[in-house]
Amino acid sequence: MSCWLLAVAMEPEARLLIPLLEPAPALGRKPCFSGRLAGRQVHLLLTGLGLVNAAQAVAAACERLAGLTAIINLGCAGAYAGSGLKVGDAALANEAVLADSGLLTSQAWHPLERLGLPLLRDSQGRDHYHRWPCDPALNDLFAGARPGIRRGVFATVSQVSGDPATAAVMEQRWGALLEDMESAAVAQVAALYGLPCACLRGVSNIAGQRELDVAAGAGAAQEVLLALDIEAIYLSSACLTGGHRDK
């Protein structure tokens, strides 16, 4: 049976989903809720904000939960100015990057490859430094529930962009759509455990501008998942009644 871990940093980013689930025992000392969504068993884990919280919580869940088949990171993010995204839009990550890790000198920033120290060597012998790919099949599943959803690079940072000029540097460095604080950490842990991962975010602000609409951003991401849930309910009903979907 399919079983998803939904990794969400903060309770306001899961307000549409939590009422549909039941409280469950904590995982990694973090609040957890369980139930069925999108036709699957799900465990929604409130990881806490930032890279360390996200990695710790998701790793604890991977150790404790038997039968996990995928990890989904949900939340809000800041859209880079060149992305064309606006507050309330949703997007999927083709890959999440650790955007502000690396080697910093007084003259320039250099990527982790310059140090020759990969963060992970996967089961196929590939070295990973900054970039953590997301699962194309999961992305296609979500895109089917929200046709036209944008896909691209998510830049995960420890220091959020405090002005447009700083945001522009990150956008140009990585060719990213969005800036967030957890996606790459979740994707890295998923890679460690050999689990497919998707990162689904809604836009709460323009990166470098601090006027946030968390409800709009988080709502956009949750609505994609809920659209998948409606799809699952429809298909289940059609099977029970012997009906079929109109083409």
Task: State which amino acid sits at residue 131.
Answer: R
The domain in which residue 109 lies consists of 3-241
How many CA atoms lie less than 13 Å away from 195 in the CB half-sphere? 27
Query: What pLDDT score was predicted for residue 39?
Result: 86
In a domain, residue 99? The reply is yes
pLDDT for 235 equals 44
Query: Distance between CA atoms of 119 and 2, rounded to whole angstroms?
Result: 29
Q: How many structural domains comprise the chain? A: 1
Output the domain CATH number for residue 130.
Answer: 3.40.50.1580
The residue count for the chain: 247
Read off the amino acid at residue 230.
Answer: I
**Beta 70-79 vs 176-180: how paired, if at all?**
antiparallel
Would you say residue 115 lies in a domain? yes
Asked whether residue 246 is domain-assigned, the answer is no
pLDDT at residue 238 in the model: 45
pLDDT of residue 232: 55
Q: Kindly give the confidence (pLDDT) of every residue in the chain, 247 residues in length, as a single tens digit, with 9 standing for 90 and above.
A: 789 999 999 999 999 999 999 999 999 999 999 999 988 999 999 999 999 999 999 999 999 999 999 999 999 999 999 999 999 999 999 999 999 999 999 999 999 999 999 999 988 888 999 999 999 999 999 999 999 999 999 999 999 999 999 999 999 999 999 999 999 999 999 999 999 999 999 999 999 998 999 999 999 999 999 999 776 544 444 444 455 444 4
* 247 domain-assigned: no
- Is residue 134 in a domain? yes
Asked whether residue 17 is assigned to any structural domain, the reply reads yes
User: How would DSSP label each residue in 33-58?
Assistant: EEEEETTEEEEEEE--SSHHHHHHHH
Helix (H, G, I), strand (E, B) or coil at 7: strand
Whole-angstrom Cα distance, residue 237 to residue 160? Answer: 45
